[in-house]
Every structure is written in C-alpha cells, then in structure tokens.
Chains A and B, each alone.
Chain A
Amino acid sequence: MTTATSPTYYVRRFSEYMSELWRRKDFVWFLARGNIKARNASTVLGLAWWVLNPLLLGMVYFFIFGLIFPTQRDIAYLLSGIFVFHFSAQSMSGGANSIIGNSKLLVNIRFPRLILPIAFLLESTFGFLASLVVLYLIVIPFADVVPGPEIVLLLVALPLQIVFNLGLAAATARLAVPFRDITNFIPYLTRVWLYMSPIIWPLAMLEGVSETAQSLFRLNPMFPIIAVYRSALLGYPLAQADLVAMAAWCVAVGILGVSMFIKYEGKMVRYL
C-alpha cells in the first residue's frame, strides 16, 4: 500500500517485476512447449503444420497479389513482408487470448501475468523461424536469392521485433480484458495495417504520391521493420535511418505496452 508515485518507484517496481519474471523462466518455457505439444498432438499432421502454415499463407497471398491482381510479382519481396508482418499481427490476438483463454488459471493462482503473453510469444517465435526456412525454400529456387552475410542482421532485428510484439501483445491484452469488443475489431485493424504496409505493393508505388502522404505512410512501424528484415534476409541495401527507426519503435512500443499491462494486472481478475 505504498503511496509513492515518483518515477524511481515505478522503475523499482518494473525491475522487481522483471526479476520475478526471470525467476519464473522455466514456467514460461514449459507453458510454451506444452502448448506446442498439445497442438501437435491434437492435429493429424502435427509438426508438419510448422511448415504448412507459412507455406499456405504465402501461397494465398502470392496467388492473389502475384497472379490474380498482380500488384506484386516479386515473390521474395512479398513473402518476406508477409511473414514478418504476420509475426507481429498475430501477437495482438494471441496476446489477448493468452489472458482471456486462461481465466481459470488467473483467478486461482498468483503469478506475474506477463508470463502468459510471453509464453505465447515464444511459441510464435518458433513459428516465425519456421516461416523463414519456408521463405528460403521458395526463394532460393524460384527467385534466385541466396542468404548472404547480411543475415547476421537477424541477431538485431529478431530481438527488436520480439520486444515490439511483446508490447503489442501486452497492450492488446490490457485493453481487451475489460473491453472484449476489441477482439472483434482486431482482424479489421490487422487488414488495414497490412494494406498500409509495403508488402502487397512495391515501394516504388510510393513515389507517385505527395511528400506529405509519403511521410504519413512512413509513420507505420512496419515500414522500417520490414525494410531491415529485407536487408537481412534478401540482401537489400540497408538504410541506417530504418535501423534507427525500427529500434526506436520497438523499444517504445515494448515499454509502453508492458507498463500498461503491469499497471493493470491487479484489476484483471475482476473482468475474467
């Protein structure tokens, strides 16, 4: 029942929370592995879905935007964008569900609630890595792209995006627990976000619009994130500004989302 609200109080609470999370890392790991195992056990194809999911996802988008309405014939450009986008987009619904779907656990046992979205994130990171393997399986034979030394950039890009996703997942969970309406809204938001991102249309298309519109488009965090990934995965030239912008976005969203979540934790059970 401390009344202190000074910044140092929040910093201390934040760091205490983080060390408690770290103490519970075995739990996070088991939860994620358990979910993966349970999912594999209840489907006929089991492990094959790790490859099939991104493969089907990529095929659907290539079918529509590469063949039917050919806005983007560059399959490497399209798939890299889709997979990176999907990794972030799914953390919104996944984060909300990790809390809402585990209401029994939350009501009965006390533990840092952030463990649940983190476990989901861990699970989806495995999925993302599998999708990168699928990417190369398609891109190497069909687009004549091979991974170069730039791929070490992944060591920066991946942790940054995970922090970004954690922020997204935590913020969505924070908002969706009292306002379930949000879970209905997420798919539409995701679709708009996809169309606003440089995935199904080429970057060159931006040159046709006004400077103001261009800079507005570039406010989308997916712009720098996807740009950095394309440098890492496909050897596109890397703009330093993109790397800086990506880092700024990811850290800001991560801290904002996590603090929103932690602040709300004590009230969560009332809405489950």
Chain B
Amino acid sequence: MSQPSVKVENVWVRFRPYIDRRPTLRRSLATFRHKETQLVEALKGVSFDVQKGEAFGVVGQNGAGKSTLLRVMARTLRPDEGRVVVRGRMSTLLQLGVGFNAQLSGSRNIYLGGLVAGLTKEQVDERYDEIVEYSELGEAIYRPMKTYSSGMFSRLAFAVAMHLDPEILLLDEVLAVGDEGFKQKSKATMHELLGRSGSIVYVSHAVKQLADFCDRAMWLKDGEVVAIGEAGAVVDEYRAFVQHRRKELRAQGLA
C-alpha cells in the first residue's frame, strides 16, 4: 500500500483562555501568579490520513476547529501534542490574496506569491506566461491589484497556487472561484492534480459541492472527529445533524 500524503496523528491544540484578548504583560503575570491554566481546546486528538490521488473534505460548524486543523496541516501552527507528517510539496489557499500586495500590479504579485510559496525567481519566470494565461486577466495583469474585482483577485490567486506544482493542495472555501466558466476550469485543473496522484484537502460550508467533489470526508465537531468515510455519507449525516439542531433550537425558542 502506498504511503498517505498527509498523516495527522492524535493532534491536540490548546489555546489560552480569552483567545480574542492578547496576553499582555499584566495578564501573563496574573496567570503566572494564580497558575490559571484554563485552556480552550481547539483540536482534541484528531487523527486521519489523506491518501494519494484523493480529495478529502472537512465539514463542521463554525468553531469546530476546521481552520485550526488547516493551519496545523500547513505547519504554521505547531500542535501541543501529536504530529503531522506531510509527504510532498504543499500549496495552500487558505485565505485569498495572502502574500499579495494590493498596491502592486498583478504581474509583480505573481512573483511575490510564487516566492512566498518557496519558488525561486527563475522558477517563477518559467511559469509566468502560463499563470497570466490561466488567470484570463489579459491587460489587467499590469494594473494594481487594488483595482481588481474579487473574482479577478481569486482567479489570480488560484492560478498562482496551481502553478506551484503542488502535490498536496489545502483549500478553504475557494472552490467558488470566479464566474461559471472559470469554475469549470478550476475544477478540471484540480481533477488533473488528483489524476497525477496529488491530494486535495478541502474545507467548506457548501456541503453539497463538497460531497460532489470529494472522495472521502471528515466531520469535525468541537475539535473531535465525529465521522470519517465516504463523502456523501458523511455529509448526509452532518446535514441531518444540522437540521435536527435547527429544529431543536426553534423548539426552544418557541417554548
């Protein structure tokens, strides 16, 4: 059996209380004195594998730990316990326009985006024409990105990410890129990636699309894995739960 491209093993991530309040000197002295170790647990022992050639979806409600999980997989956040093993070149599209400078032209941002992701300038040179063509921006590539519509912005971001030759792609809510035509194209590109045994991890609230696109899916709730399995089945289970919850809340509201 071939080795998984991403292996997540018993990952725990704990944040300090008041995650919205940054620790200040005074507060950290206070916690030091009182030894307050009341922690928020964002991920509680999450384990799963992503296989080669597989599109793996992650569903869950707000605050379930999806973004934290993506950060751990992108290895920008070190887990408190457990480990993440990544085999292959990873490209991330977690927030649109990360690494871009809106004051600068699309053209310069292609370089910036490529270099951020770890390419050398020569490697960006080689891919430059393809990226411009793929993004369908035409002459607009020479305009500052602040003049771009959100669709144009995401088209360029996607074009750059897909030309980094990723073997593993982490996507957060960006499948709905651009207009209908571009959507089809981006989907085709992603299938191509899967075809040459790349992997895609896709996090989205658009569960219908997710069920269509992904092979397997995982449902995350309060930092724990509720279900892993065939995407359609997991998504159905998740949707049933959400509907049930909604009914329950409505009933409580009426009572």
Contact = CB atoms under 8 A, between A and B. Distances in A.
Contacts of B74: 108-110
B117 interface: yes
Interface stretch (B54-62, B75-83, B212-220, B240-248): B75-83
Contact of A270 (B15, B98, B115, B118): B15
Given A270-B15, A271-B23, A1 B104 contact: no
B209 interface: no
Which of A23, A41, A104, A108 gathers the greatest number of chain B CB atoms within 10 Å? A108
B78 A181 contact: no
Contacts, number: 84
A38 B98 contact: no
Interface string B14-34: 011000001111101000000
Contact of A24 (B76, B101, B118): B118
A30 interface: yes
Contacts of A37: 103-104, 108
Interface residues of B, number: 33
Instruction: Say what secondary structure dominates the interface of chain A.
Output: helix
Given A30-B115, A38-B103, A105 B120 contact: no
A216 B15 CA distance: 43
Interface in B116-159: 116-118, 120-121, 144
A272 B76 CA distance: 11
Interface size range on A against B: 20 to 34
B253 to A, nearest CB: 36
Given A111-B116, A179-B28, A30 B95 contact: no
B71 A107 contact: yes
A266 interface: yes
Contacts of A109: 74, 76, 92, 98-99, 116-117
Given A26-B121, A109-B117, A271 B22 contact: yes
B111 interface: yes
A180 interface: yes
A109 B98 CA distance: 8
A251 to B, nearest CB: 29
A106 interface: yes
Contact of A110 (B16, B75, B83, B104): B75
Contact of A108 (B22, B23, B94): B94
B77 A105 contact: no
Contacts of B175: none
B103 A42 contact: yes
B67 to A, nearest CB: 9
Contacts of B98: 104-105, 108-109
B76 A106 contact: yes
Contacts of A24: 115, 118
A27 B115 contact: yes
A107 B95 CA distance: 10
A271 B22 CA distance: 7
Interface of B: 15-16, 22-26, 28, 71, 74-78, 83, 92, 94-95, 98-99, 101, 103-104, 108, 111-112, 115-118, 120-121, 144
14 contacts: A26-B120, A30-B111, A34-B108, A35-B101, A41-B104, A42-B103, A106-B76, A108-B99, A109-B76, A109-B98, A109-B116, A110-B74, A111-B118, A180-B24
Interface of A: 1, 23-24, 26-27, 30-31, 34-35, 37-38, 41-42, 104-111, 178-181, 266-267, 269-271
